[in-house]
Structure 1
Amino acid sequence: MSLLQMHYTSAPPGPDGAGFRFTAVSPGVPHAVLREAEQLVGYEPPRDAPARPSDAELGLFPEMFGFTRLSDGSGLLSRTVYTGADYSGRWGNFHAHAVLLPAGEPLPDDLPPIALWGAAEWADRSPRAARRRPWTGSPPGSPTASGPRSPPSPPGPGPGSPPSSPTCGASPRTRRPLRWCSPSPTPGTSSTG
């Protein structure tokens, strides 16, 4: 199964404008889905995170992972990571990679969405047109187009890490405990991972 993909980040001026926008979209993704997805894939760094993080600190920022049933019945599975400064040097950039599950279609092998948290196909930046790969939704530890991959450390407490909560855990990207964690979600907000 190959799934339709979308990439959203701040990008230099192009045919669709400048700033935050979809920078790569599979043919066949409806415009209405893009409008709805745009509202779901944003990223706000933790309040106590450094304003201008080093490359090493960027790896400690939490990832946002979500699954949302869209108004047309399709499912949007997304992963968003903080990337620091954008093309213009402005801080606050992020990259969202999302895949669209057709209405009524399960994930491969009937996996729950969370099983794909550490999938090898998630991208941290928009692909170049010539380098786009199909997204098959291989769970961590499964052979993929890029070869076998070990599963990420599950979120949760470990030696020296903070206790697990909806907004705290280990980064699957780096397998290190997160430094900037909130003990619980801020009232009036929701956490998607």
Structure 2
Amino acid sequence: MISAKFRVQLPEGIWVADTSRAFPDATFRLLSGLRIGEKAVELGEVIADDPQAIIDRPQSSIDGWELLEATDERALTKYETTDIELYEFVESSALTVEFPVVVRDGWYEFDLTGTRDDLERFGDALDEAGQPYELQSIVGTTDPESLLTDRQRELLDAALQAGYFEVPRDCTLAELAETLGVDKSTASTVLRTGEAKLVAWFLTGPKQN
């Protein structure tokens, strides 16, 4: 298995691309997202000197917008968007998006894990689409533990110890998040990302003779 970090330039016309270029010092983080037909439901945060100014910027492709948390430098929102290009593009490469996806000044930054052939097909798709990109890092591994960040391993271990993966569950996501001192959405995102990496490694990793 190979874990790679990509940086891909976003085309104009996508709301997060245009907004991030209008506020180049801000950081946008897509914490989770799910495509449903011609829309996507996303949980995202913006970190900036004045996040309210970004929130107030009109977005024609955003529906069902809800502010969940806000401070002077951070805003957490849930919304629906008709901008589904990210999902369409990654689906065409047979890879899944690993959250969080970071956007700065018109560029996506995200990690992908797969076989060498998977990643080569992804690169070929970017070249064919004429999409500027940078391969920032690439790490080959056959060790499932090295696929996880320390945070992912910490939450997965805590979830296992608490019985979160039991059927039926011995604890809820909210209870697990409270025990770890994080919000529910963060716990969900970290767990899902870690689980996705381990499942991908198990299903497509090198077979032992």
Tell me whether the two structures share a fold, i.e. TM-score over 0.5: no
Larger radius of gyration: 2
Q: Hey, which of these two has a bigger chunk of strand by percent?
A: 2
Q: Which has the higher contact order (CA 8 A, sep 6+)?
A: 2
Q: Hey, which of these two has a bigger chunk of helix by percent?
A: 2
